[in-house]
Amino acid sequence: MEEQKGMPLLGDPFPEMEVKTTHGMIKLPGDLKGKWMVLFSHPGDFTPVCTTEFMAFERLRDQFEALDATLIGLSVDQVFSHLKWVEWIRDEQGVDIQFPVIADEMGMVSKQLGMIHPGKGTNTVRSVFIVDPKGTIRLILYYPQEIGRNMSEILRALKAMRVADEHGVAVPANWPDNEDIGDNVIIPPASSEAEIKERMKDVEAGKIECLDWWLCHRPLDS
């Protein structure tokens, strides 16, 4: 009986693998060490929703790359199908797909990452894995086959994670357009009475704002 391995979780290292892509063989996450990776799967080439998604990702590719992130697509189609589909998108829609697409022909990568929907045959679901420069899985999203993804939200999540890592803060709902604190970032809650008193001094000095001692925020550049 085939051994069933558990799906990777948030905080787990991304499993090492060598994959066939439209840009040749790539070792993951090794070949992208020091960069963010946005790996996303789609149910199949030459399908309507997937085609709109690929074009949407490509239109935002420069913004992902500006955040030091590499886009990588994936499905269980053969590499020849990927190449023909990418060619069709370029010739018929005028969008030149520049990111690599993994040809997971045997489904080994998809099974390892939990991308196969048991009720949908062997097709991959719409999943997204964001992996940080250290090779750690930081975000996992799954969508049903019928619903296309919001690429702007994936880009927003990547920006938010970079801000959180670089500044030691958290970000609120809908950041940077939160209804209550705008584009401010959230300071980690105080963990002692002494820290609460120091925080209140910062409030009086106008350095930070607080809804209460455990919910304080400040501008990102302060």
pLDDT of 122 > 90? The answer is no
Q: What is the pTM for the complete model shown?
A: 0.92
Rounded to whole angstroms, the Cα distance separating 131 from 135 reads 6
Q: For 51-75, write each residue's pLDDT tens digit.
A: 999 999 999 999 999 999 999 999 9
Where are the domains positioned within the chain? 17-149, 168-222
Residue with tokens 């930070």: 208
Domain 168-222 architecture:
2-Layer Sandwich (3.30)
Assign a CATH topology to domain 17-149.
Glutaredoxin (3.40.30)
Q: Specify whether 210 is catalytic.
A: no
Among 174, 60, 72, 55, which Cα is nearest to 131's?
72
Rounded to whole angstroms, the Cα distance separating 185 from 213 reads 15
Question: Of the residues 28, 38, 39, 50, which is catalytic?
Answer: 50
